[in-house]
Structure 1
Amino acid sequence: MTTDRATATAWVREVAADRWDAALAARGFTRAAAALVYSRKVADDGRQRLHLDLSVRHGEFQLSPRATVAFPSIAAEATRLLGPSAADKSGVVDMELLDILDPGSPMLLFGTRDDLTALPVERYLLAPMVPWLDERTTVAAVTEAVRARADRHPGNPGRFPVIVAAGELAQGNPGGALATLERAYPEGSPGRTEYAAAFDEVRALAPGATPEPPPPAALSYQLTTANSLVGVPVPNPGPDQLERVVRRLNEERFYALLERSDGVYAQVGFGPKSGAAPGAYALEHRAGVHLRADTTDPDAAVRFLQRFRAGDDTWRDGHEWRRLEL
């Protein structure tokens, strides 16, 4: 690599000014001339940012968009609950990467300024990243969004439930905060010990609260594709994510696998590598019995995964299924 990092950074600033700033300004974001971060204020003293992280990968520069959400009121309560382990002092209470929001997105690699100009950066910032931020513009909204993230990992929710509890405290609901912690970290779980200080703080604020019984564990889903990063499946993808992934299947990115936490899965393959004809899709479902059907209709392939994800038994409709023996 002959280009240094300072030059690559200057290119990003120049292309941002020429190509991306106006579109993001229309969505309320601003960027300082010397910065690689877009920012906008939202309700409840919140601030949202789109970060253009720059790194070196395989002899080229890589641009990795990242979205963060900061709310001082939630951050203050989280610091109280987490104590010294509250490492992020910036007030960030939720964060996501483009690779997770859209697992079918390409690596944004460039070696020259022309390469950078040709990258579809604006497209991915405007969707799915800005819509993700649009769902987190108030304390109440981000609290529910983080709750959904915690629910995706019922056996190991990490510290997400503590952030949810902090959001409920910020809204004046200590009883709800205690119920959140009780559900996420039941007696005997590692989290009960790790976040014992959070329990103590919340109980002090809600001494008369009676914890609700924990609900039955919800089924979760994980999406992987032929080019997914090893060990980084997408948890609980939404219908729009599934549609994007299926419509972008090709001869290299030739399958999308959606696995449920009980071991049942649905998969869409594309082309000969999946055992289908060129341009056709192979639909597979396994729940003890392994079934397969073929279609040339991308809309039907999209509906198959979306219906499976929604728990809708109509995923079978419109196809001639045959049993596969392994």
Structure 2
Amino acid sequence: ALDTFDDRGDAARAERAARHLTGAGVSAVLGPGTAAAALAAGPVYQAADTAMVLISVDDPRLDEAELRTLCVTRGPERSLALPLISYLTSARPVDRTAVIDDRAAGRTGSDLTGALAENPPHRGRTSVHPVPAGSDDFRPAVRAALAARAQAVVFSGTSPERAARCARALAAAGFTGPRLGTWHIMRPAFLREGGTAGEGWLFATPFTDPGSVSRDFVSAHRAAYGLPPGRWSPEAHDAVGLVARALESLGGSAGTGPGAVSRRLFDLTYRGLAKTLRFTGDGTRTLEPGALYFLFRAQGDGFRFLGRYDRVTHRTSSRRTR
């Protein structure tokens, strides 16, 4: 049986939902869908020895909370630089990478900037050019990046509107090399406000393309909801499959306690639609590193899926589709 509770992403409602669901004796919980809600609900699920399976949420504060029953099924945000470094090392090798460090992005942006500075693509050099949180002018940072002879530019921010301003500044300065960002800016506002300046930008994501995973999945989703699957849909499907596999491996009886399920999740290998879910055996309860990230490209009025980051080549990333 499936029980649902809409916490609306609110911390107080998420805590109430956690108390309701644990009181009902559920085997595991999928969600919440925001960091604030997960931080509020996590201690309640831990006290009840119930797995909190997160699909789209990752936040360093959850790691710091040391929640024993937390099961995160997406690639960690702290490793989001990996697909960018890989692309600029293997697919489009460059020796000089510039980071437009948008200080408005807070810890998310500074973590990405730090990772690129510590691990320059292609064993080259990374220069960092900050833009104050209170400034909308990206031209000085762009001029500094080009003065450093950047061959590729990475935008560290999370705002699609600010990314669009950066894209326009790069275009106005005549920069035509690889321009990259992360999934946070993959929004209609980037395409709308960036215009032709945003064309060709690449984005690292912890989610796959919902329309590419399986025709059967897409058809079933349309039949059930009347709409094509949206972002994070395959990952949600895989999370459900992981919990179902845990229950099945424990005998599938009604008497199976949530504690047994929360422990079994980390012992399984589940080959899902989006990726294979397999956790490390070192007690950290984190996914094994590897094929956890993907790349998309801005093209026309949408974002074209390029594939798993470690399989993308210069040719596949440059090819246009109709």
TM-score interval, normalised by the smaller of the two chains: under 0.3
Greater Rg, structure 1 or structure 2? 1
TM-score in terms of structure 2 length: 0.24
Larger relative contact order (C-alpha < 8 A, sep ≥ 6)? 2
Would you tell me which structure has more strand in proportion to its own residues?
A: 1
